[in-house]
């Protein structure tokens, strides 16, 4: 088959959202690689990659702006991708935002099919247009291990009577993505749970932790009644989620006052009543959430 016709079939399959047709244009062992794939994809993995992209951007379209060929089996195509993030993307809930990304594919092809596709585009362009934070840091440096975190605030600013802690150890990025999905769904339910005061989740290396503040030590027992929490526990004690972990409930021995700087005199008062009124007489507003 004509090489340019094979490449045309490849792009037509993307536009038609036909994963099997995309895979069929590759030779046995043919590879796909772009800035978002940690390794070159082969066979069915290429089709699955396309399906995930269509799931995240259901209205995804590609416009091929220009094609060039060397005559020796190498072709290049400049394209513009457009789509609306109406599905989960990278383990995150949909943002509803629209993205426009420009890129280029360099394709090696012979009469039997595509041997390789190497795509080039700015992966940060998607994150920026979706309003996502892009954190650039090493996985580890010296004695430090780096990670990311998130927080869900509660409906009360009182002093916690207990903290529940959970930690799990992941075996792979697939493990981590499933734990993130469970954690976010559970955290979204927490503001409706009696006694909930605040939740912080953190990922550092292969360790994923949550710390939840409660009004009383008995409040965390309600977690077992949450549908997604129960499902996560079944998966954890089953055979396919994480390498292990632990949970606990801690009762504070001492919680100091929440110090606040006065907007009038610029001082941080101390002593009785300092959480509500400054030494200069100025009143503070509502205290921020403790956790």
Per-residue model confidence as pLDDT tens digits over 17-35? 999 999 999 999 999 999 9
Could you give the CA distance from residue 92 to residue 27 in angstroms, rounded to a whole number? 34
pLDDT at position 69 over 90:
no
pLDDT at position 74 over 80:
yes
**Residue 70: pLDDT band with limits 50, 70, 90:** low
Could you give the CA distance from residue 61 to residue 38 in angstroms, rounded to a whole number? 24
Residue 213, beta-bridge partner list: 163, 198
Residue 17: burial class (beta carbons within 10 Å; 0-12, 13-18, 19+)? middle
**Residue 269: pLDDT band with limits 50, 70, 90:** confident
pTM over 0.85: no
Could you give the CA distance from residue 218 to residue 182 in angstroms, rounded to a whole number? 23
Distances (CA, A) of 146 to 53, 142, 179, 203, 261: 28, 11, 18, 8, 30
Whether the CB-CB separation of 40 and 72 falls below 8 Å is answered with no
Helix, strand, or coil (residue 199): strand
Mean pLDDT calculated for residue range 211-219: 96
What is the per-residue pLDDT for 177?
84
């Amino acid at each position: 088959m004509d090489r340019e016709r094979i490449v045309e079939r490849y792009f037509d399959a993307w536009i038609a959202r036909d994963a099997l047709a995309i895979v069929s244009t590759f030779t046995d062992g043919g590879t796909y690689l772009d800035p978002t794939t940690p390794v070159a994809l082969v066979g069915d993995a290429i089709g699955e990659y396309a399906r995930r992209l269509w799931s995240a951007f259901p209205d995804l379209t590609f416009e091929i702006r220009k094609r060039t060929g060397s005559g020796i089996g190498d072709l290049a195509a400049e394209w513009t991708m457009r789509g609306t993030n109406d599905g989960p993307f990278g383990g995150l809930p949909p943002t509803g935002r629209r993205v426009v990304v420009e890129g280029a594919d360099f394709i090696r092809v012979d009469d039997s099919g595509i041997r390789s596709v190497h795509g080039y585009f700015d992966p940060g362009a998607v994150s920026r247009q979706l309003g996502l934070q892009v954190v650039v840091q090493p996985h580890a440096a010296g004695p430090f291990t780096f990670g990311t975190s998130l927080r869900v605030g509660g409906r009360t600013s009182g002093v916690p009577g207990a903290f529940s802690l959970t930690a799990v150890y992941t075996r792979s990025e697939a493990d981590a993505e499933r734990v993130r999905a469970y954690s976010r769904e559970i955290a979204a339910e927490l503001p409706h749970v009696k006694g909930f005061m605040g939740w912080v989740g953190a990922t550092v290396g292969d360790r994923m932790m949550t710390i939840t503040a409660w009004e009383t030590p008995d409040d965390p027992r309600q977690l077992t009644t949450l549908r997604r929490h129960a499902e996560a526990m079944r998966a954890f004690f089953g055979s396919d989620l994480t390498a292990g972990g632990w949970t606990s409930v801690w009762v504070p021995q001492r919680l100091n006052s929440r110090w606040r700087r006065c907007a009038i005199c610029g001082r941080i008062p101390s002593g009785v009543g300092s959480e509500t009124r400054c030494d200069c007489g100025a009143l503070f507003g509502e205290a921020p959430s403790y956790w």
